[in-house]
Structure 1
Amino acid sequence: MEAAEKANVSTPLIKRLDLSKGDKFDTMLQGVLDVANLPDPIGKVTFANKLDEGLDLYRVTCPIGVLLVIFESRPEVIANITALAIKSANAVILKGGKESFHSFAAISRLVGEALSGTEIPPGAVQLIESRQEVSDLLKQDRYIDLVIPRGSNELVRSIKSNTKIPVLGHADGLCSVYVHGDADVDMAVRIVIDSKTNYAAACNAAEGLLVQRCALKSHLPSLAKALIDAGVSLKVTPEIGEALKEAGVAGTGSATIMSAEEKDFETEFLSFTIAVAAVEEVDEAIKHINAHSSKHTDSIVTASKEIADKFLNGVDSSGVFWNASTRFSDGFRYGFGTEVGISTSKIHARGPVGLEGLTCYQYQLRGSGQVAADYVGAGGKKEFKHEQLDM
């Protein structure tokens, strides 16, 4: 922490580095214990089919293989990912950011000491320090099965453009909350405040607020006042600015009200700043979010199940919530123990990636001498039974 402050590291990164704030350290430890207590994810049969007498097909979960995980700043990631890798029977190579070098080195020593007294094969968990090592490893598509970059969009794009290895991206969290006109005002205020201020430097913190146009007089003043009282600056469209002016809502101290630019709705502030706009109805909110979000997590506050369902089914994000804070988007809170990251892609794993996201599967066929040539489709006359088996 001292080195980071001397190097003038940005405030959001400082917050991510600090394990002493709140319950971050205890949560990290509890996450490791929770992973240990989860059921073994390997060797589970997820599909079973009798092709014929004495010819049974099973789909069985298995490890992905060797993971290369590259992350920025957060030192607790080492403990989280090590626990997940061991539990899912994967080998893992870890590379932390330069900002967390000292914490990274200390936790690395502890990981090595802990594993040395176990049956885990030597080298199953490896920790590297230099960028050159990362560059070399990204070329090893024969030996590394999956790369997981956990950090900025810039990091994810750089990794994807420099490797042939499949990449599971954990990028920006451009999360939004949409407040519909029928929402309970107090509920909306609680959800928006928590989404923005509970931990503003997190990827699941809200960076955008959308308010239905018919609620600019009934809801917006309370939302804006609560945000300003919490120290949040607002970047607002002209329409929102005019509505706040009419309601007599003004910025105070460091919590200012500024004009928003288009880019503000595609900016991950990671601080006490939020972009605010008005929309006509839920369809426009969906369109706005799908056009500007990073497909991380978005929430609607409404009393209507019909409106909520339209939002939940229309927003193309890995997490879509109804009457709940975006901060719930987290592997620990989902009951995954912890997470290796939150995937904003759609292939293999999406949302918080826990044990299940670190496994794949293989098809195991158990026969008794059969050959394909005896069956229909390969020249023979025998028909397949294709009967579901108990798993």
Structure 2
Amino acid sequence: MTETRQQAERARKAFLKLSAVADRTAILKEVSMALKQNATYIFDANAKDLAEARGKIAEPLYKRLVLNESKLRDAIAGIEQISEMEDPVGRVLEERQLDEGLILRKVQTPIGVLAVIYESRPDAGPQIAALAIRSGNAVLLKGGREAIQTNAAIGTVFQQVLQRHGLEDAVQLVSTREEIADLLKMDDLIDLVIPRGSNEMVRMIQQSTKIPVLGHADGICHVYIDEFADVDKATRIAVDAKAQYPGVCNAAETLLLHSKFGGREKVLAALKSAGVELRDSGFGSEYLDLIMNVKTVNSLEDAIDHIHKYGSAHTDCIVTENESNARRFLNEVDSAGVFWNASTRFADGFRYGFGAEVGISTNKTHARGPVGVEGLLIYKYQLTGNGHIVATYTGEDARPFLHRKLR
């Protein structure tokens, strides 16, 4: 038996304990405090990773590898927000009386064991682990080798807290790339795979496993500036969506400008001043850099058609003062996030108030958009009777069901 399989088996056992008897709120509060107390230890580990990676990985990846005070502070704030959430495990979603003394309940439950595979962004690790703990799921984390020391330092902090609760196997690090192939074969132990990284990596995982995969392969987001857009709003939103932090999946890659919009030159000049290289080709490309495609369209319909042809159903926004156009865009664009007069960069679990996210899903089943605690939960049906049998409700003298909704 491989070490990876042993880890997965231990995670399965930890999940059963974490979801049933553990004080998940106390664990999260202790984790947030421990991360604060060990910040220097984590920063030192990150400095070693940065020194090792300098000149060896692409600049956008290098920027994502940086874990500074503000990023750690945001991660800890997210964990604190998650710890304050009402515990969702065991929540009764629906309750129905089938007959006298026969009650059916739909109860919220964890998914089970998660395998989360992510590149760079070591700040993603603690956020994912915290969401897993809050939702009662065990998690196997596979970070990129470029962040191996930072991930190990963060993992140590979590382990120290979890050990005090007898749950050290609820969050485990998977160390080598070869182990990804092993993980993807364990459909008997792992319930959900969540990849975060390049579109090549995500597609490879989607094509290599029987385990359900939650995520997105590309973040090709659009900003459409309508003919009725306010010039100042359009300028602020276009620059923020592209240049505020270009190396993430919710940064805009394409700017669509209506041919009758009067502020075109001001918007383009502002983007250039922010260091953005403007192109008129390459639609459908995810740059994760200060590069943006620009296209002129003649109508709202043309903009929507372009988004559906070249987009990735991630996040797209319209800038307009025309409510009718905005409503059409919001209703007709088939993306996980559709915004009106707001930057695509708001597509984020922390900004949505979820505390954090394990990633952004463009799936159309189970969870879509930024996936927080709710996206890591499923449900079971609990039926309580008193000797009830189906034979009572069949045949000529069948007793009728009440089917009375209680909640």
TM-score by length of 1: 0.89
Query: Counterparts of 2:285 and 2:396 in 1: how far apart (Å)?
Result: 60
SS of the residue corresponding to residue 350 of structure 2 reads helix
SS of the residue corresponding to residue 399 of structure 2 reads coil
Say if 2:54 is the partner of 1:5. yes
Query: Counterparts of 2:215 and 2:319 in 1: how far apart (Å)?
Result: 29
Query: Counterparts of 2:258 and 2:96 in 1: how far apart (Å)?
Result: 51
From the superposition, tell whether residues 185 and 379 of structure 1 become closer, same or farther in structure 2 (CA, over 3 Å): farther
Which of 289, 293, 309 in structure 2 is aligned with 1:291?
309
Question: Per-residue deviation at 1:363?
Answer: 0.8
For 1:239, the equivalent position in structure 2 comes to none
Question: Per-residue deviation at 1:11?
Answer: 0.9
Question: Per-residue deviation at 1:118?
Answer: 2.5
From the superposition, tell whether residues 209 and 48 of structure 1 become closer, same or farther in structure 2 (CA, over 3 Å): same
For 2:87, the equivalent position in structure 1 comes to 40
Name the % identity. 50
Which of 336, 348, 373 in structure 1 is aligned with 2:391?
373
Question: Per-residue deviation at 1:114?
Answer: 2.3
Which of 335, 349, 354 in structure 2 is aligned with 1:336?
354
Q: Over residues 66-122 of structure 1, what are the superposed CA-to-partner deviations in whole Å (9 max), with x where a residue is unaligned?
A: 001100111011101111111111111000011211211221222212222224x23
For 2:158, the equivalent position in structure 1 comes to 111
For 1:159, the equivalent position in structure 2 comes to 205
For 2:226, the equivalent position in structure 1 comes to 180
Which of 335, 360, 363 in structure 1 is aligned with 2:381?
363
For 1:127, the equivalent position in structure 2 comes to 173
Query: Counterparts of 1:356 and 1:13 in 2: how far apart (Å)?
Result: 29
Say if 2:131 is the partner of 1:84. yes
Q: Which moved more, 1:154-163 or 1:337-346?
A: 154-163
Q: Gaps spanning 5+ residues in structure 1: where?
A: 237-259
Which of 259, 265, 268 in structure 2 is aligned with 1:213?
259
For 2:247, the equivalent position in structure 1 comes to 201
Contact 1:318 1:344 in 2 (8 A): yes
For 1:18, the equivalent position in structure 2 comes to 66
Query: Counterparts of 1:233 and 1:132 in 2: how far apart (Å)?
Result: 38
From the superposition, tell whether residues 380 and 91 of structure 1 become closer, same or farther in structure 2 (CA, over 3 Å): farther
SS of the residue corresponding to residue 194 of structure 1 reads helix
Contact 1:373 1:380 in 2 (8 A): no
Q: Over residues 100-159 of structure 1, what are the superposed CA-to-partner deviations in whole Å (9 max), with x where a residue is unaligned?
A: 11211221222212222224x231111111122221121111111001111121111111
Say if 2:143 is the partner of 1:99. no
Query: Counterparts of 1:384 and 1:141 in 2: how far apart (Å)?
Result: 38
Give the paired residue count.
358
For 2:29, the equivalent position in structure 1 comes to none
Query: Counterparts of 1:170 and 1:114 in 2: how far apart (Å)?
Result: 32
Say if 2:114 is the partner of 1:73. no
Runs of 4+ in 1 over 4 A off after TM superposition: none
Contact 1:179 1:302 in 2 (8 A): yes
Question: Per-residue deviation at 1:170?
Answer: 3.2
Q: CA RMSD in A?
A: 1.3
For 1:189, the equivalent position in structure 2 comes to 235
Query: Counterparts of 1:210 and 1:350 in 2: how far apart (Å)?
Result: 25
Question: Per-residue deviation at 1:380?
Answer: 5.2
Query: Counterparts of 2:55 and 2:199 in 1: how far apart (Å)?
Result: 26
Question: Per-residue deviation at 1:268?
Answer: 0.8
- Structure with the higher helix share, 1 or 2: 2
Which of 250, 264, 277 in structure 2 is aligned with 1:233?
277
Contact 1:148 1:170 in 2 (8 A): no
Q: Over residues 157-195 of structure 1, what are the superposed CA-to-partner deviations in whole Å (9 max), with x where a residue is unaligned?
A: 111221111111233210000000111100110111110
- Please tell me the residue identity of whatever aligns with 2:63: K
